[in-house]
Structure 1
């Protein structure tokens, strides 16, 4: 019997183990290939989405320019430039005319082809990934940094072209009250008090956040010197800083990249405000394109034009009653 069992015993199975190991290696390599190619597609999708998000957010800043056709044109140009900086070229087909709406939104979509590695084994050389992004002009800003230390009576928006800061000569008012009347523009304390703070604030805006509803102290005085330097005469004045930016030279093409577009606070009135111990309440914010500082006559005037603008900050509801032309923008897709 033992001899029979000896004759019937199985052969050495070491070769079968090699076959199983080889089979499992193929499966593992296949899974690794799927993971690598899948990861590449995921990475490309994420990168494309971020590029498109940045493109529409930047392009949306041009949607509020005065000229509607120029606004849409510039929004497309900026979106294309930003996307290309992030590695993707947008064509006209990627930004359709119907998806760029003045004072509303801009939308782009793009599909790119991604080369594969391991999928080539089964005859798949490439795969496509797509992404889209849409940025919409949101409601008016209710809170922001970068506000100039200047407060304007809300009745001046949007037509007033001359902002008389401090006191103005008004013979009739002076006869009635025995003193000069306040202008439609005055200075406020945001980052601190004093002439250097006013000059710096006009040049670069406030470092502190200012919100609708805040009550701030006025900064008394005409401040002729600080305004003159901040607007025109200093090397880093807002006008000199923009001298090499063609789009900043006109209110119809100027945007938030222009130093001469300042963001001013809006208040009810300067009437009855007598000194630094008083307070004025912030009602909203407005962009003002500065043409020049006219200090030749009795009144010291910042001359320019109110425009619409977009900058970073907290957005309120469009119907909240403080819509004076300064907006936020957000991604909606």
Structure 2
């Protein structure tokens, strides 16, 4: 191989190396933004997790900038965001740190906001919200698993008979052993009862096996329903009657609520009291007849005289009848 071919090959490899360096540089600086065509916003978090300079800033999933740097500011961790100049971030937008897939890198996610808020000025501080990262989630899952394991262990210990009380199963076994005779008696009684029911003995057995008894029971229930219906009708009629009486309708309503009729009743009662008083005092003809015995004796004597006159008239002739009557009376 001559010197010319060697020189050509060395020059070709040199050009390929320059091209590779240029591609690598462009790949690493592809997320860089022109500072003249962007502005900065700051987001504060309790922890920025694995966020680093060069990570993307997305709004509704669309790349709108990049993380320029991360820094500490007192008790907060700040991420300085470089946003494209043509992107408007509303004042109510919220920044969170999200993950690109389960094993992907982190990025800053911005919400769109309500759409009515004013845009943030360059250098403003974004509202932020901390979200659990993968490590926190895994730790919480591990804590939940540990608690579940403890609960299962306690439950297993309670059932398995460990401890002083022998566990639930141990207590159940002891109770069954101590009451085995009672349980056997109860089982036997249940068998006897079920056999009697099957044979139609007793009230319940007859209801189950005797069709006539069932029919009579249904008839009795229907009669009870009819009586209940009649009772409801009676109560309804009674309520209507009471309503009419309260309204002053009918004789009873008029007696209870009509003052003129009540006054007439009071006057009649007063007149009856006055009449009874006069009769008891012997005033008037009827009062004297009731209270004076002489009038009764005189009336009795007159009747006797009339009887004697009638008897004399029968004995004598018609001619002397008038004279006999007159003589008898006078």
Report 1 or 2 for greater relative contact order, CA contacts < 8 Å, sequence distance ≥ 6.
1
Provide TM-score, normalisation by structure 2. Answer: 0.14
Larger radius of gyration: 2
Higher fraction of helix: 2
Higher fraction of strand: 1
Provide TM-score, normalisation by structure 1. Answer: 0.14
